Amino acid sequence: MALRIPAEERQLNLIVALMATEIGLTKQQILETVSGYRERQGGSSDALEKMFERDKDDLRDLGVPIETLGDHADPNDLREARYRIPKTEYDLPADIEFTPAELAILALAGSVWSEGSLSKDARTGLRKIRALGIEVDEPIIGFAPRLIVREPSFTPLRDAIEACRVVAFDYLKPGEERPRRRTVRPLALVDYEGRWHVSAHDIDADGERMFLLTRIVGSVRPTGARFDPALRDGAGQRAMQGLRDVAARNRALLEVTPGSEAALRLTRRGEAAAQGIRVPYVDAHIFADELASYGPEVRVVEPQTLREAVVGRLRAARDAHATPTGGGSA
């Protein structure tokens, strides 16, 4: 079973491919070369084409100018239509001016973009496009960010899932002083509420477990053992449903300051209640970290354990920044 590529990553790969050539790509070329589509080549062709059409519509709704080019002799003949994104459509209007401060911010932002940032999947797609005899405009690489938002363990876990290889890593649970070694069969990577988890069969515990990538300490080490690919079947769906079930059982009642960042981020994840909003959460420790980061913008009404966890973090932050009193000068 091929690793499922998140829709956002697939659409970004599509943008990179469509901006990489002036003559455009046919639908078939896109489905065969762009990461997110090519991994599904063994599945239903109708479903794959519908996925591409949905992505194309979604990107256009976001303002991405995807052009459809018909036959040169008959522009209305779209049987072999080609698709492209003309980079000139992204040019700024001539009458826009920036202040020195704005230019400094743009220069700083631009400094984190470079060729080295393009993902392996995107580079593979561009090489496949070149192999078709289509010229690729190299400056497109500059549109990919160098910043890496995934944990270092993501790539080795992804590779281990694809290779059906057993791995070992050190995992630090909240409240424990030292990490413990886990040896697992990694089955699926899932992104839930902006955090990556790996669903795996824990060999020592002899059962499926969920591990948060941010709690993996050090490197992920592949072992010489492999496992049956059939174990991966449905693992991603089971993991997502498991996370949803946990969130459904854990719901916090919060009061948030209207118009604040806390209100913006939390309201869209929860539902209105008589006293504030109710927000589901999976991990109490991580959720407490998030709530504490909002400071006075949010107050936990219940559960009491979550309230105490947030208060504890706020007190620790206060104490860490308290000005020492008394004592003479050194």
CB-hemisphere CA count at 13 Å for 270? 23
Q: Which amino acid is at 179?
A: P
| Residues 225 and 255 reside in one and the same domain | no
| Residues 227 and 300 reside in one and the same domain | no
Question: What's the domain count of the chain?
Answer: 3
Closest residue by Cα to residue 15 from 77, 59, 57 = 59
- Yes or no: say if 248 and 271 are a contact pair by the CB < 8 Å rule: no
Please state the rounded mean pLDDT for residues 189-202: 87
For 22-74, give the DSSP string. SS-EEHHHHHHHSTTTGGGTTS-HHHHHHHHHHHHHHHHHTT---EEE--SS-
CB-hemisphere CA count at 13 Å for 126? 21
* pLDDT of 200: 94
CATH of the domain at 195: 2.30.30
Dihedral sign for Cα 155, 126, 191, 1, please: negative
For 82-128, give the DSSP string. EEE--GGGGPPPTT----HHHHHHHHHHHTTB-GGGS-HHHHHHHHH
Angle at Cα 151 formed by Cα 147 and Cα 153, nearest 5°?
Answer: 130
d(CA 209, CA 206): 9
pLDDT tens readout for residues 143-180: 444 444 568 899 899 889 989 999 999 999 888 889 99
* pLDDT of 326: 55
Per the structure block, which two tokens stand in for 294? 């909002």
| Residues 163 and 232 reside in one and the same domain | yes
- For residue 1, being part of any structural domain is answered with no
- For residue 70, being part of any structural domain is answered with yes
Higher-pLDDT residue of 7 and 158 is: 158
- Partners of 83 in the β-ladder: 25, 68
| Residues 220 and 258 reside in one and the same domain | no
Task: Flag whether pLDDT at 42 surpasses 50.
Answer: yes
- For residue 293, being part of any structural domain is answered with yes
pTM score, two decimals?
Answer: 0.52
* pLDDT of 309: 93
* pLDDT of 329: 45
| Residues 179 and 268 reside in one and the same domain | no
- Of 241, 270, 297, the position where a domain reaches its end is 241
Which residues are CB-neighbours of 77 under 8 A, at least 6 positions away?
Answer: 70, 71
Q: What is the mean pLDDT of the chain?
A: 79
pLDDT band at 192 (very low <50, low <70, confident <90, very high): confident
Domain range for 282 is 250-320
